[in-house]
Structure 1
Amino acid sequence: MRRADCPAWLARATICISLLGTSLSAFALPSFDEVHARWHSSDWVLLARDGEPLQRTRIDHSERRGDWVALADVSPALRQAIVVSEDKRFYEHSGVDWRGAAGAAWANLWNTRTRGASTVTMQLTGLLDDDPQRSGQRSIAQKAGQAVNALWLERSWRKDQILEAYLNLVPFRGETIGLSAISMTLFGKAPSGLNDREAAVAAALIRAPNAPYAKVSERACRILRDMQAAGQCANLGGFVQLAFARPAPATLSLTPDDDGLAPHFARRIAAEVHPVAGTRVRSTLDARLQRFARDTLTRTLLELNARAHPRNVQDGAVVVLDNTTGEVRAWVGSSGALSGARDVDAVLALRQAGSTLKPFLYAQAIDERRLTTVSLLDDAPLDLAAGGGLYIPQNYDKDFKGWVSVRTALGSSLNVPAVRTLVMVTPHRFAKTLTALGLPLTQSGDYYGYSLALGSADVTLLALTNAYRALANGGVAGSTADLPRRQAAPGDTATRAAQRVFNADVSFIITSVLSDNNARTRTFGFDSPLATPFFSAVKTGTSKDMRDNWTVGFTSRYTVGVWVGNADGTPMWDVSGVSGAAPVWAAIVGYLHRRLPSAPPAAPPGVMQTRVTFENGIEPARDDWFLRGTQTPLVALAADAGAAVQRVSTRGAVHIGAPTDGTIFALDPDIPASRQRISFERASETSTLSTWRLDGKTLGHASRVPWLPWPGHHLLELVDADGSVADAVHFEVRGAVARTPGTGTGTGTGTIAAPIASQRPTK
């Protein structure tokens, strides 16, 4: 009898005989829903607040599995390739292909190598009871048991459920399990997008998962012929070889060529909740806002680095907080592919704060009733003794504005008035205020000295943005939230009780300054990204040598913080407070309030508005806000106001005010030498004619003489009209900054060798 004439009853008989030596009872078959529910990927998934996936992170490294794929999301080409390859009569049989089994049984009698008779349903039962599916080596009894289980499965599952479960459970190549994983790993696309050639290659891997590419391409070509697509066999070997050479991604991306929307935030969440494989964690992020913030940051950095005018800025970060809850709505930790340190989370990196600390300084001075927003401060050259040298703050534009009000000084981010204010408040008390706001100061205020007014302390973008949220909330500082409050772990140490730092009246007054576009005009002009068509209160900051550029501000609903710079600390080129971070900030708050109004806060009962006039036209008349009892309708300079900022001396009528004896200056290597000056000043005006003499050479007779510094030791003398030396000091100029332990690295931090012009302005 010929093998071709072998009747189907022979296959049935063979199975029945085999069953005599094995159990007739099928194992407890799970339902389709149970199998689906038990499935989990090898990753955990970060979800947005609305449930949209944001980021995948692999945890299980023993197997690579993606999400469960519904049959409707599998390309028709792959469904066809699986059927023609593994089970041509899948839609006809009831679990066992008796015709195929008969042929296999007859071939086995004649010792002929032939394809096994396992159907897709039989293979699925092996996957469900964890049989050695990958080896393909089974006894007749095992195959008979599979057949019985397949018959039972076909009676309780639909065909589409069987094929769907099979595609998700079947091993493909190496550690890759299921269609989702092989599709993204081998072809870099979702299963719904597989074409005929890709489908044939995937189907070929089921029979021989770890075969060399030549064998896989040969089998894939046979599948293509069965699919009536033989034309796709051309250059199939090269295609398979390239697919095998594709680097395996660290995680199964949600979309091709995308490593996710929030990789840095996902790491933060993982450290908090310790998710296991298959976990899906819902966070506070807004997916659309996260995507917009990321894309806006990338676009702005690309524009800053345009070939015509490159600005040498590669990195950036964005944080958006909900004012009321503190929930994080957006967290962009880096500029991604633009960055040379894309894994560094710039939201949590310590960077110098620049002028972003000034609102808190003025808030403290007003709260202590040392100043009002109309108090006048002298924006004029100032040098303060610090650590054996002089601290000499300068403004961003190297210009001085003379007498200005506190509103103008803060709005236009003038440095010298801020330093004068810190002299009143003291660095020690100001540092305590910053710590209460949640800023991570690692040293006491005396360590930073007067440079703390200009942001010499290191802060993180998250902490700084949350500190501004305290102003938005009337002076109350609280913690941020990464997870919805109902998901937060009991006793979460990251959550701290709300703490009042400023009086609500003071917060309102500072907010009125930060939202006043007129107050910014001295530095920023009328038309800048900081001027929004709706209520917003905002401040910029730039640290020494343009290493960090910040814009932080709030609306009635959100607080937004943006940082741009370079992760390695190299300076940017010509990036100001309004050209770096500010455009990103303005775009994000505009997006947030494209349909949501933002109104200024209502005035609390402890403040009152008063019409103020400035004598001698120092500033235009205006309505301004005051703490009750501090209102000042007329602002005038005292007759001795000029003398108030000069030094007091107990020496003779003619003496040197600056520099002091023993001062050591250092040339700042970041400022051209030709633009650096040391000022020699008399301590007070006198009618007595006196002459400046340096190292024996006459310099002039003015009360203040600028001198182009020259390294070395020098003798400065003030000579009376009769030629006698009225006063003399020795000082030294060094060629570079010489820092000493404990002086810090902040903008204008005191040094033994005090930089002549190193107090680089911030705004």
Structure 2
Amino acid sequence: MSDSRKRTRPLVADKRYASSSKKRPAKKPVKKPVAKRRSTRAKPKRRGGILGLLSAMVRWVFRLIWTITWRITAVAILVLALAVGYFYTTLPPLEALLDGRARGSVTLLDRDGDVFAWRGDQFGGVVTAESVSRHLKHAVIATEDKRFYQHFGVSPRGIASAIRINLREGRGPLQGHGGSTITQQVAKLICLGEPFDPASGMTEKEYEAGCRAGNIQRKGKEALFAMAMEVKYSKDDILSIYLNRAYMGGGAFGAEAAAQRFFGKPASAVNAAEGAMLAGLLTAPSSLSPTSNLSRSQNRAATVLRLMNEQGYLSEAETREAQANPATLSEAAEKKAGGYFADWVMSTGPEFFTRNTTEDVIIRTTLDPRIQKAAEDGLKWVFENKVRDGSKAQAAIVVMSSDGAVRAMVGGRKTKVAGAFNRATQALRQTGSAFKPFVYAAALDLGYSPNDLIDDSPYCLDIPGSGRWCPKNYTNNFKGMVTLTDALKNSLNIPAVKISESVGRELVSTVATQFGIKSDLAAGPALALGASESTLIEMTGAYAGILNGGSSVTPYGLIELRLLGDTEPLMGTGGGIGERVIQEGAARQLVYMMEKVISEGSGARGQFGGRQLAGKTGTTTAAKDAWFIGFSADYVAGVWMGYDDNTPLSGVTGGGLPTDIWREAMSRVHEGLPLNPLPMARPVPMTDLVQDNGYAPPISGQGNGGNIIDQVLQDIFGGGGAGAGSNAPAPGAGDR
């Protein structure tokens, strides 16, 4: 049986809280299951209709563009990496790029062994970005590529800026400013690693033009090559290549050569002003070269100094100091002595060791810097004090020793030049009466005496094919019977023609040619009056032959040529005294006659210092050319004056301004030299001539020479002697 007291208790929870009431506690509300939370981002409601369709199409297009863009970008990056990698594999070791010489240089030394000129490409040796002066390094970066240490070889900002400037200035986007970095400039300097191949059929000039091409294809390849260089080399390595290969004007390639060329010091020692000048040359090395225009180069350097200050490389005080004391040229670069002389020496040496040398050549020359300065100063003084302002007349001077060693040369009024037209060696001009000494040399060598007489009276010749020709004297009057000495002293034309016809034009031409006049000589009787053309250096060399006793002379300036580093020369002197032309006695008598030209005659303005001097004036028809050539016992000097376009000189004869230039130059040349006598001989009696030479001279010294010459001429030309005739002036009129 079941016990009712043991019934199962109802399944009711116990009270948790006491309550005074008997009430049944209220049931707790049953929590409803929470619904799963949905995303708060509401789905965009799709628009219907046309707007919905357009929106869908735009989204699809953008997704397509994005997909294509990132894939193309990825492919482009891959191609770029492959291209850069390819160029990377073609780059040589750094050492092969630091020294980029392709040609050699020529250094010219004066007679004392000092450098006075350079020619050809100058390479001063390898430098690095660490070894050069910090001022030079900073100046190059500030001027050429201020973000050099930040970019990867190409500067997008620089390119964008360059395009903007080009468009603003009315040029094409790639014309003018290029926005090239230093790395890109180096890539261009080494021609993107493409060496010149002579077998390609391309000239070197065409090759260099191709290296500098600015088309879009070349620019792209240049950019790739630059990025490859950034991977291969460090920034300082790239800057080092640039400092060694960049052309800096004046024939100097690289910082070391330029520093030595312009300042006479290594690139490691240049100061801020000098470094700024060198860096400034990189923009336009030829026009900004300090040897061409120092003030322009200094102005450019001032701009570079300002850039250095703005970029923090120089303080305000350092900038002011450098700008207040601009860089100046070294003594050798400033003088640039013998520019014409250096050009002449280069033209006379072997081409493979001068103009086209691939070696570094040293040439020792005959140049005397003291005499060179004397010649330049003498010419300058006359033009400043005796020539009217604005005159375009030119002049040239050559000074040499009696053996033909050229000591000074001025080829024009502008003396600080290189590669200019040299009027001393290149200008063929009529010689006028300066040719007459060769007429008298021929006569004296045949036994004529300076005291022989000749009749200066009206004289005509019938020239086949040309008609009657009647020379006249400069003064248009006649002296009558004169000695040969007086005829030369006063530069009389008629006696000179008579003597030339008497001894024979062929002999006169032979004597002149053997003395060094290489130009074609006139074939007619006007030969005696200097109708032929010659250069100043030829004429001066011929007069040197008279001074040295009658032997020919080949003017020379090269003493020896050797390669840099060698002690033995490859070649020696290329000139000097040659074969005898006239007897020494005849030469000494001619010197005596020419001494009278200066002491008593048409060259009297050439006297100075109580010295014995000899020479001859010369003026051509219409005064297109004026000459004075003369010598002391020590030096021979020749002066030419005229216009390049053959404009007649106004009021100028050989005995005027050319003689003044000669005197001013030679008086400076002879400062401090002893008064040495000329090697001249006064006329000797006829009996001595017969005894010494073994024959009697054709003209006696007793005053009848003129009659004998007239008789000879009449026999030759059939009465073409004295008498009235044409009044046409003779070529090469005499002078004063």
What TM-score results when the alignment is normalised by the length of structure 2? 0.57
Mapped to 1, the partners of 2:587 and 2:551 lie a distance apart of 9
Please give the secondary structure, in 2, of the residue aligned with 1:227. Answer: coil
Please name the residue that 2:551 is paired with. 476
Mapped to 2, the partners of 1:657 and 1:417 lie a distance apart of 12
Q: Which amino acid aligns with 1:284?
A: T
Please name the residue that 1:48 is paired with. 110
Mapping of residues 529-568 of structure 1, within 5 Å: 529-530=606-607, 533-568=610-645
* Match status 1:365 vs 2:443: yes
Deviation per CA, 1:134-165, whole angstroms, max 9, x where unpaired? 9663599846xx69x99xxxxxxxxxxx99x7
Mapped to 1, the partners of 2:345 and 2:441 lie a distance apart of 36
Of residues 407, 427, 440 in structure 2, which corresponds to 1:349?
A: 427
Mapped to 2, the partners of 1:134 and 1:176 lie a distance apart of 29
Mapped to 1, the partners of 2:713 and 2:339 lie a distance apart of 60
Please name the residue that 1:393 is paired with. 471
Mapped to 2, the partners of 1:406 and 1:522 lie a distance apart of 13
Of residues 496, 521, 535 in structure 1, which corresponds to 2:600?
A: 521
Please name the residue that 2:734 is paired with. 761
Q: Which amino acid aligns with 2:449?
A: T
Q: Is contact 2:405–2:556 with CA below 8 Å preserved after alignment?
A: yes
Deviation per CA, 1:488-508, whole angstroms, max 9, x where unpaired? 97699x759821111011111
Aligned length: 533
Mapping of residues 518-667 of structure 1, within 5 Å: 521-524=600-603, 528-530=605-607, 533-601=610-678, 609=684, 637=703, 658=723
Aligned pair in 2 of structure 1 residues 532, 229: CA closer, same or farther (>3 Å)?
A: same
**What is the CA distance between 1:378 and its match in structure 2?**
1.8
Please name the residue that 2:393 is paired with. 314
Q: Which amino acid aligns with 1:458?
A: E
Of residues 505, 510, 529 in structure 1, which corresponds to 2:585?
A: 505
**What is the CA distance between 1:610 and its match in structure 2?**
6.2
Q: Which amino acid aligns with 1:459?
A: S
Q: Which amino acid aligns with 2:516?
A: G
Please name the residue that 2:273 is paired with. 195
Mapping of residues 131-146 of structure 1, within 5 Å: 137=227, 142=232
Mapping of residues 292-331 of structure 1, within 5 Å: 292-307=374-389, 314-324=393-403, 326-331=404-409
Q: Is contact 1:265–1:333 with CA below 8 Å preserved after alignment?
A: no
Aligned pair in 2 of structure 1 residues 756, 611: CA closer, same or farther (>3 Å)?
A: closer
Please name the residue that 1:336 is paired with. 414
> Which protein is richer in helix relative to its size?
2
Q: Is contact 1:553–1:559 with CA below 8 Å preserved after alignment?
A: yes
Q: Superposition RMSD on alpha carbons, in Å?
A: 6.0
Please name the residue that 1:15 is paired with. none
Aligned pair in 2 of structure 1 residues 420, 179: CA closer, same or farther (>3 Å)?
A: same
Q: Is contact 1:39–1:68 with CA below 8 Å preserved after alignment?
A: no
Please give the secondary structure, in 1, of the residue aligned with 2:554. Answer: coil
**What is the CA distance between 1:405 and its match in structure 2?**
1.4
Aligned pair in 2 of structure 1 residues 373, 81: CA closer, same or farther (>3 Å)?
A: closer
Deviation per CA, 1:392-447, whole angstroms, max 9, x where unpaired? 2222222322222111111222222212211211212211221222212425x6x2
Q: Is contact 1:290–1:330 with CA below 8 Å preserved after alignment?
A: yes
**What is the CA distance between 1:466 and its match in structure 2?**
1.3
Mapping of residues 216-231 of structure 1, within 5 Å: 221=307, 224-227=310-313, 229=315
Q: Which amino acid aligns with 2:581?
A: V
**What is the CA distance between 1:39 and its match in structure 2?**
6.9
Mapped to 2, the partners of 1:256 and 1:558 lie a distance apart of 23
Q: Is contact 1:44–1:277 with CA below 8 Å preserved after alignment?
A: no
Please name the residue that 1:276 is paired with. 357
**What is the CA distance between 1:578 and its match in structure 2?**
2.5
Mapped to 2, the partners of 1:760 and 1:542 lie a distance apart of 6
Mapping of residues 152-191 of structure 1, within 5 Å: 168-169=243-244, 171=246, 178-179=254-255
Q: Is contact 2:108–2:362 with CA below 8 Å preserved after alignment?
A: yes
Q: Is contact 2:618–2:655 with CA below 8 Å preserved after alignment?
A: no
Q: Percent identity?
A: 23
Mapped to 1, the partners of 2:722 and 2:679 lie a distance apart of 49
Q: Is contact 1:317–1:333 with CA below 8 Å preserved after alignment?
A: yes
Aligned pair in 2 of structure 1 residues 366, 437: CA closer, same or farther (>3 Å)?
A: same
Q: Which amino acid aligns with 1:314?
A: A
Mapped to 2, the partners of 1:531 and 1:538 lie a distance apart of 13
Q: Is contact 1:224–1:233 with CA below 8 Å preserved after alignment?
A: no
Mapped to 1, the partners of 2:708 and 2:617 lie a distance apart of 31
Q: Is contact 2:338–2:409 with CA below 8 Å preserved after alignment?
A: no
Mapping of residues 408-447 of structure 1, within 5 Å: 408-443=486-521, 447=523
Larger radius of gyration: 2
> Which protein is richer in strand relative to its size?
1
Aligned pair in 2 of structure 1 residues 35, 288: CA closer, same or farther (>3 Å)?
A: farther
Specify every segment of 5 or more residues in structure 2 that has no aligned partner in the other structure, as ranges.
Answer: 1-91, 153-185, 195-221, 284-301, 324-331, 563-568, 716-720
Q: Which amino acid aligns with 1:516?
A: K
Q: Which amino acid aligns with 2:454?
A: L
Deviation per CA, 1:279-315, whole angstroms, max 9, x where unpaired? 34423222333343234334433445324xx7x5522
Mapped to 1, the partners of 2:548 and 2:310 lie a distance apart of 66
Please name the residue that 1:455 is paired with. 530
Please name the residue that 1:285 is paired with. 367
Please give the secondary structure, in 2, of the residue aligned with 1:540. Answer: strand
Please name the residue that 1:707 is paired with. none
Mapped to 2, the partners of 1:589 and 1:453 lie a distance apart of 28
Mapped to 2, the partners of 1:438 and 1:489 lie a distance apart of 27
Please name the residue that 1:713 is paired with. none
Mapped to 2, the partners of 1:509 and 1:544 lie a distance apart of 29
Q: Is contact 1:317–1:346 with CA below 8 Å preserved after alignment?
A: yes
Aligned pair in 2 of structure 1 residues 276, 542: CA closer, same or farther (>3 Å)?
A: same
Q: Is contact 2:247–2:254 with CA below 8 Å preserved after alignment?
A: yes
Please name the residue that 1:685 is paired with. none
Q: Which amino acid aligns with 1:179?
A: A
Please give the secondary structure, in 2, of the residue aligned with 1:561. Answer: strand
Mapped to 1, the partners of 2:556 and 2:312 lie a distance apart of 57
Q: Is contact 1:380–1:401 with CA below 8 Å preserved after alignment?
A: yes
Q: Is contact 2:243–2:254 with CA below 8 Å preserved after alignment?
A: yes
Please give the secondary structure, in 2, of the residue aligned with 1:478. Answer: strand
Aligned pair in 2 of structure 1 residues 570, 645: CA closer, same or farther (>3 Å)?
A: farther
Specify every segment of 5 or more residues in structure 1 that has no aligned partner in the other structure, as ranges.
Answer: 1-26, 60-64, 87-99, 105-122, 151-161, 206-215, 240-252, 613-623, 650-655, 666-677, 679-754
Please give the secondary structure, in 2, of the residue aligned with 1:594. Answer: coil
Deviation per CA, 1:447-496, whole angstroms, max 9, x where unpaired? 222x111111112212211111111121111322231157697699x759
Please give the secondary structure, in 2, of the residue aligned with 1:474. Answer: coil
Please give the secondary structure, in 1, of the residue aligned with 2:511. Answer: helix
